[in-house]
Structures are given as structure tokens and as C-alpha cells.
Amino acid sequence: MHLQRYVEYSKALIKRRLAFKMNMVLLMSFQIMSPIIMLFVWTAIYLASGVSTISNFTLLQIATYFFVIAALNAMAPDISWGILGDVRSGNIFSILTRPLSYVWVIVSGAFANILFDTITVGIPILVLLVVFAHVSLTLSTAALFALSVLVMLCLTIMTEFLIGYIAFFFIDIGGLLNISNFVMQFLGGGMIPLNLLPSGISAVTSVLPFQFMLYTPAAIFTGAVSNVQAEQSLILGVLWLGIFMVLCYGMWYAAKRHIDAVGV
């Protein structure tokens, strides 16, 4: 693998992102709006309920939780729409004729976006939380959080690949991509912390891979789960990584045999 080629591709993508400065500022502002809305909603709920904790979350923890979710959402790469675009436009043929691996072109693009969004949105939000929400991270918790973010990014990339590969079999999967996004947000704890869901649903989500895409890192950062619980949970996350890796390989193999770009 000629690593330098992919590094150059990543650099070019970052330069392109930097070119649209206004877009960058607006994106950052909008990313922060969702947790601010949640802060207002949950403040009203806690004040009305007159309780200090709801399902192990204090108001400060739940507010922190949604800000961490915003940071993670910003860092998560969006690959499937890109694959759909490549197939629909026929651009995939142009990439495949180059001495490059399509998968690694996508991964290097994802890496560039992750790096860019982590530096511009993710880290600033997390630093602000440590300073203003007084989140005290021990070294072991910080290490577990970093590991959980790594698992989250790998799982998200592979899930996006799996969904994106469906574009090789159908002309337009935009609706399906939207559905998968909503499902991942909901089952991943992006809308509501998973331990707040009814016990039956919560039990199901605790074995699914989606929890690692948002809930687990956010719960570790806020201290809603102990380090021991986090370690046990991450073992399951690594197992899911293995399963997804096999699925991705199988899907890519099937997709390559079925390659048929539309070019609209």
C-alpha cells in the first residue's frame, strides 16, 4: 500500500474543508445548538420533578452527556452518502481505474474529516466541559474514554461502509441512509441516554453495537458508568468490531462483483 498517496489525499480534503470558513463556523455553531436545547429541556424537567438524579444522572451529568454526544456526532465520519454519490455519479469507476484502493481512499477521506472535526469541534467541546462542567477525569477514565472513542470511530466507519455498500445494489438508497441514521442515533443513545429507556429496550440495546457509537463514550466521560462497567462494555465493543470487520469484507467482496455505477 502506498501510504503517501492516501496521506496526500487526506491533506487535500483538509485544505478543501478549510477553504469554506463560513461553512465551518456555522457547522460548529449548529453542532452546539442541539445540546443547548437539551440543556433547557432537562433543566425544566429536573426543576419540576424536584429530584437530584434521574436514572443515575444528575442535571449536570445529563447536560454534559448531550454536549459529549454533540462532540462525538461531529467527529463521526459520514461515509455512506459519499459511497452513494460515487456510485450514482459514476465517479467510482474513475477511482477504480487509479492505482488506489477504493476502500482506503474512503478511509483516508474519513480520517481527514475525523481529524478536522475532532480539532475544530470535538476537542474544544470536551475541554470546555472539563473547565466549565467541572468534569474530573482520572487518568484511567480518560484512557477508557479515549479507547471508547477509538472503538466508536472504527465501528462507525464500518457501519457506514456496510450501509454504503448497499448503493452498489440499488440506485438510490438515500431514504435507507436516513433511516439507518435515525436508528443509530436512537439506539446509540444520541436522543436519550440508553439507561433512561424502558428496561426491556434498554436490555436489548445493551447487547447491540450501536451503544458504542455514542452512549458508551458519553457515559464514561460523564462518570455515569464505573470503570469496571466500562471495561466490560468495551470488551463487547471489540467483539463487535471483529464481527463488523468480517461483514465489511464480505459485503465489499459482494459489492465488487455487482459493481454497476449509474452515472446520473
Which residues form the interface with other proteins (CB under 8 A)? 22-23, 26-27, 30, 33-34, 37, 40-41, 43-49, 51, 54-55, 170-176, 178-179, 182-183, 185-186, 191-192, 196-198
What span, in angstroms and rounded, lies between the C-alpha atoms of 105 and 161?
12
From the CB of 3, what's the least distance to other proteins, in Å? 33
* Shortest CB 250 distance to other proteins, Å: 23
What's the closest the beta carbon of residue 198 comes to other proteins, in angstroms? 7
> Can you tell me which residue has the cell 465489499?
252
182 or 253: whose CB is closer to other proteins?
182
- Residue closer to other proteins by CB (options 147, 197) is 197
Find out whether 255 and 84 touch, Cβ atoms under 8 Å. no
Q: What is the smallest separation between the CB atom of 34 and other proteins, expressed in angstroms?
A: 7
Provide, rounded to whole angstroms, the least separation between the CB of residue 180 and other proteins. 9
What is the nearest approach in angstroms of other proteins to the Cβ of residue 28?
Answer: 11
The alpha carbon of 88 is separated from its chain's Cα centroid by a whole number of angstroms, namely: 24
Place of cell 496526500: 8
Question: 151 or 218, CB closer to other proteins?
Answer: 218
Query: Bridge-partner residues for 54, per DSSP?
Result: 57
Nearer to other proteins, 26 or 146 (CB): 26
Cβ nearer to other proteins, comparing 54 with 236: 54
Nearest to other proteins of 202, 227 (CB atom): 202
